[in-house]
Amino acid sequence: MSELTITKANFEQEVLNSDKPVLLDFWAPWCMPCRMIAPIVEEIAEDTAGKAVVGKVNVDEEGELAMKFGVASIPTLIVFKGGQEVKRVVGVQSKAALLALLD
């Protein structure tokens, strides 16, 4: 299972009410660093299937969510546990660094 597309409509259900840690990738199609990190995020979605939820938020389509979380630069990756933001990184990260966020 690859990553979910997160929108305002499913945010509460998929992120806030998740019983697993959630890694959200705030991105945009025109963002080159976002494209660089996309395959890594997809691998993490596959590697953590059943243990974590991996979602993508297109900031062009979901500006309200981006504003709510103060996303100024992309890619921004935020980890939620129990509906709360617990960790955040900005910019291209290694797979190991992203996996460590979920621990």
**Pick from 81, 61, 79: which is nearest to 69 by CA?**
79
Q: Is 34 a residue of the active site?
A: yes
DSSP-assigned letters across all residues of 61-97: T-HHHHHHTT--SSSEEEEEETTEEEEEEES---HHH
Kindly name the residue from 6, 34, 45, 65 that is annotated as catalytic: 34
Kindly name the residue from 31, 89, 92, 99 that is annotated as catalytic: 31
Q: Is 31 a residue of the active site?
A: yes
Distance from C-alpha of 88 to C-alpha of 75, rounded to nearest angstrom: 11
Provide the annotated active-site residues: 31, 34
